[in-house]
């Protein structure tokens, strides 16, 4: 699943191709938006909040999309077209007056709303380390509202902090030397603040420095770019202990596939996992979507 830095990088690429260009033809290929038309509007910017992309147009309109596991955007040059095999999966097509055409492929949660009402779609999200309005104090408050919650489960909850996905929460748990299932309250306010400061620096570095995208070890070498993520049964890059993996719990976004080094990250093991989701709903009753 794309993480916050993935969507941020995508937004900057789309800005290069689309921002300032006027749409001459649009096609929104989902039933509830099929009659809506963006022709005549100019693309103003691509904003992000966590894993959500907000394409803002002149006239006060915003096209909201979420990539989930398989969504993507592709922009083709004038005179070029998307490969035919992908056309059945296109949900958005925006052709600009200069001939550049953007295709939204397998997009999810697609909505078109007045820009002034974006909060209806992203207002439930927590602070985002990649946004100018990043509020670490508010993020600390939200994360510590349930101090018994396991560290990785709390960090994955987009209503607490937006933009951290499975790769980053596993790597952050390693970097702070804590078991993924450590109750987050054990870090205390100062410890949670230090973790968030580290996360903000790491995500910004990943999203803005060439060659640094999602490299958490500082070594852009295949197999050595992550401390624990994807390294099950391999030696820890710091101490040599075998990295372990706990598989995800089905239909439970709080408990996704988890990697850790038992030596560098002492504390509770996967037996401490807490199942908080309900069958079929993917979350406890009353909790808003966490994506």
Name the nearest CA neighbour of 26 among 122, 108, 112: 112
C-alpha 91: how far from its chain's center?
A: 20
Whether residue 2 lies in the annotated active site:
yes
Q: Would you say 5 and 18 are in contact if contact means Cβ atoms under 8 Å apart? A: no
Helix (H, G, I), strand (E, B), or coil: what is residue 27?
strand
Alpha helices by DSSP H, the chain: 4-18, 119-122, 136-143, 151-156, 166-175, 188-208
Q: Which of 56, 91, 149, 256 is catalytic?
A: 256
Question: Residue 31 phi/psi, 5° resolution?
Answer: -50, -45
Cα–Cα distance measured from residue 84 to residue 176, given in angstroms and rounded to the nearest whole number: 47
Q: Residue 94: in which H helix or E strand, if any?
A: strand 90-96
Name the nearest CA neighbour of 22 among 79, 82, 95, 78: 95
Beta bridge partners of 94: 26, 102
Cα–Cα distance measured from residue 130 to residue 226, given in angstroms and rounded to the nearest whole number: 21
Whether residue 147 lies in the annotated active site:
no
Cβ-Cβ contacts under 8 Å for 233 (sequence gap 6 or more): 242, 243, 245
Question: Residue 194 phi/psi, 5° resolution?
Answer: -65, -40
Whether residue 256 lies in the annotated active site:
yes
Q: Would you say 4 and 49 are in contact if contact means Cβ atoms under 8 Å apart? A: no
Q: Would you say 57 and 63 are in contact if contact means Cβ atoms under 8 Å apart? A: yes
Question: Residue 131 phi/psi, 5° resolution?
Answer: -100, 155
Encoded tokens for 133: 């309005």
Q: Which residue has the tokens 């989930």?
A: 68
Whether residue 257 lies in the annotated active site:
no
Residues annotated as catalytic are 2-3, 51, 256
């Amino acid at each position: 699943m794309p993480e916050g830095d993935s969507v941020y990088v995508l937004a900057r690429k789309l800005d290069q191709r689309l921002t300032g260009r006027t749409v001459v033809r649009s096609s929104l290929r989902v039933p509830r938006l099929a009659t809506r038309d963006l022709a005549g509007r100019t693309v103003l910017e691509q904003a992000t909040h966590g894993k959500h992309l907000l394409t803002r147009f002149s006239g006060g309109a915003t096209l909201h999309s979420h990539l989930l596991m398989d969504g993507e955007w592709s922009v083709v040059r004038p005179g070029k077209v998307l490969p035919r095999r992908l056309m059945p999966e296109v949900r958005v097509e925006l052709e600009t007056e200069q001939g550049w055409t953007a295709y939204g492929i397998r997009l999810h949660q697609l909505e078109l709303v007045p820009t002034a009402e974006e909060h209806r779609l992203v207002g439930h999200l927590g602070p985002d380390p990649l946004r100018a309005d990043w509020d670490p104090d508010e993020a600390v408050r939200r994360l510590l509202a349930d101090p018994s919650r396991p560290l990785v489960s709390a960090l994955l909850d987009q209503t607490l902090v937006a933009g951290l996905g499975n790769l980053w929460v596993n790597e952050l748990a390693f970097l702070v030397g804590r078991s993924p299932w450590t109750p987050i309250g054990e870090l205390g306010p100062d410890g949670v603040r230090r973790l968030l400061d580290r996360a903000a620096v790491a995500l910004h570095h990943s999203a803005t420095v060439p060659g640094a995208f999602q490299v958490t070890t500082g070594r852009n070498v295949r197999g050595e770019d992550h401390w624990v993520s994807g390294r099950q049964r391999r030696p820890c890059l710091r101490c040599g202990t075998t990295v372990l993996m706990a598989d995800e719990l089905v239909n439970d976004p709080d408990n996704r596939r988890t990697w850790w080094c038992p030596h560098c990250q002492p504390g509770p093991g996967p037996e401490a996992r807490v199942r908080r989701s309900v069958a079929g709903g993917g979350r406890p009753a009353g909790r808003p979507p966490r994506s």
